[in-house]
Amino acid sequence: MRHGKQNDCSKETTHNKKKNKKQNAMKTNPITNPPVAAEVTRRTFKPIQHPPPHGGGYALALLAAAALFTHTAFAGKPPPPPPPAPQPSSGTLVLDYAGPDGSGAANWGLVVAPSGGLYAVGSELPGGDYWNSKQLVLASGDSGSTWSLLDSFAPPGRYVDCFINGLGGGVTSDASGNLYVSSFTYDSVSSDRLGWYVRRSTDGGATWTTVDDMVTAPLWPATDDVGIAADGAGNVYVAATDVYYLNSVWYHDWTIRKGIGGTSFSTIDVLPNSFPKDIFVHPTAGIFVVGQTQLANKGPTILAWLVRRSTDGGATWSNVDTFLLSKSAVAMGIGTDASGNLYVVGSGTVASTGDHWIVRKSTNGGNSWTTVDDYQLAANAPTQARCFVTDAHGNLFVAGLSRGYPYHWIVRKSVGGTGPWTTVDDFQYGGSYSRPNAIAADAWGNVFVGGDGGDRWLIKRY
């Protein structure tokens, strides 16, 4: 459902860094996909074609489909710390995709619609050019075995948030099966951010319309985090950071917008010096937004984990959890288990050991919270939880990363929500950086984790 980023989730903010990133991506992307053709007039799309399996030993459970998709369907100094002990590895890589022209892509959001269809939103780099980035929507009707490209979008004269910029977009579905995707757009010449948008499909992704395009003043393109969720009445909520420069001062405003019936959007919450990362609608306890806020302090800036809640449809908001380890913390994702207990995941920084993967739980609708998992992949290895889901059997899954170079893709699990947390996957794509950004579960017990590695859009099934 879903991110500038703090705690090593910082973004490239200058043209030089973007150019260097772009050049490196082009040099280190030897595997390319053949183009994915699409009949634009009827929005009938051919299935994505995949490259041969790479040499990392992870077999691709991908079939070259001929059927069309339908809706139903990282001399003198102390040595570095030793590497971590071998970790369990599991899951099947069901999507390995470098975009329509093979130049690079990344997954940012996942959702399973009421129909059972799995939808993924992300970004591509046509020709390897960040200033031409587009948002893509992919879909699978068979639990990730085959995929189709449903939408490729960027407004004229703009480009869409690309994969160097935090978590670039989100996707959700309402109870009626309407799909919503979100991201930011930038001016293709100046790279100034022009605003964020929401697009909707009422026909399973065949056609899309823009239902919100919040125009902003030219902004520093460095704090791009988008979360999106829908409530039971069909209202849609979007969380993002509004960044602006006024009187020689940068401002970062936690901003929540609501679309009545998914179409009529307005701003319903603004919190200065704060950064939302994800948004979630609990069936009974209200709307929750998680992220990071700057604490009032006369000394160095302190950034704390923050959870905000509204129990009246977004009319009023209150802080229900402000959490800090010895240095700083950030909440990255939120969800619930089968009993309605809330879980917020993220990281907290300890001065002596770095970032710790943190999971916090509330059993009373967000009124109080306790830490139920505090983890590092290895001693002093910065580790961050990023997203949460409960599967159809009541098992809890959290996906995140360890920031040693290159990044490790980590998945941890609690059996039945009562068992201890254990690592069930430690994955690197071909030895390159690998990071999960999104998670979803279907009614058949499958859990899907999406992200990127080696400049490729990756989805694993567990």
Judged against a pLDDT cut of 80, whether residue 97 lies above it is answered with yes
pTM over 0.85: no
- Is-contact 187 137, C-beta < 8 A? no
Distance (Å, rounded) from C-alpha 323 to C-alpha 122?
A: 30
In-domain check, residue 372: yes
What residue type is assigned to position 455 of the chain?
Answer: D
Closest CA to 149 of 160, 136, 159, 161: 136
Q: Which of 183-197, 201-215, 243-257 has the lowest mean pLDDT?
A: 183-197
Q: Which long-range contacts (CB under 8 A, 24 or more apart) does 12-19 make?
A: 12/164, 12/165, 13/220, 13/221, 13/222, 15/191, 18/130, 18/164, 18/191
**Portion of the chain with pLDDT greater than 70, in percent:** 76
Whole-number pLDDT of residue 130: 74
In-domain check, residue 291: yes
- Identify the top-confidence range among 10-19, 252-261, 403-412: 252-261
Comparison of pLDDT for 386 and 63, the residue scoring more: 386
In-domain check, residue 75: no
Those residues whose C-beta lies under 8 Å from the C-beta of residue 289, and which sit 6 or more positions away, are 227, 239, 254, 256, 269, 276, 278, 279, 280, 307, 308, 309
- Is-contact 196 164, C-beta < 8 A? no
pLDDT band at 453 (very low <50, low <70, confident <90, very high): very high
Q: Which of 34-48, 76-90, 149-163 has the lowest mean pLDDT?
A: 34-48
Q: Region 76-83: what's the mean pLDDT?
A: 48
Distance (Å, rounded) from C-alpha 175 to C-alpha 288?
A: 18
In-domain check, residue 195: yes
Whole-number pLDDT of residue 218: 52
In-domain check, residue 180: yes
Distances (CA, A) of 221 to 9, 89, 187, 383, 438: 14, 36, 11, 25, 22
Q: Region 21-27: what's the mean pLDDT?
A: 35
- Is-contact 92 61, C-beta < 8 A? yes
In-domain check, residue 79: no
Judged against a pLDDT cut of 90, whether residue 16 lies above it is answered with no
Q: Which domain holds residue 108?
A: 15-65+90-461
Whole-number pLDDT of residue 21: 38
* Averaged pLDDT of the chain: 81
In-domain check, residue 135: yes
Whole-number pLDDT of residue 89: 80
The residue assigned the tokens 């919100």 is: 212
Judged against a pLDDT cut of 90, whether residue 252 lies above it is answered with no
Number of domains into which the chain is organized = 1
In-domain check, residue 10: no
Distance (Å, rounded) from C-alpha 216 to C-alpha 270?
A: 14
What CATH number is associated with residue 96?
2.120.10.80
pLDDT band at 251 (very low <50, low <70, confident <90, very high): confident
DSSP for 209-228?
EEEEEEEEEEE-TT--B-EE
Judged against a pLDDT cut of 50, whether residue 66 lies above it is answered with no
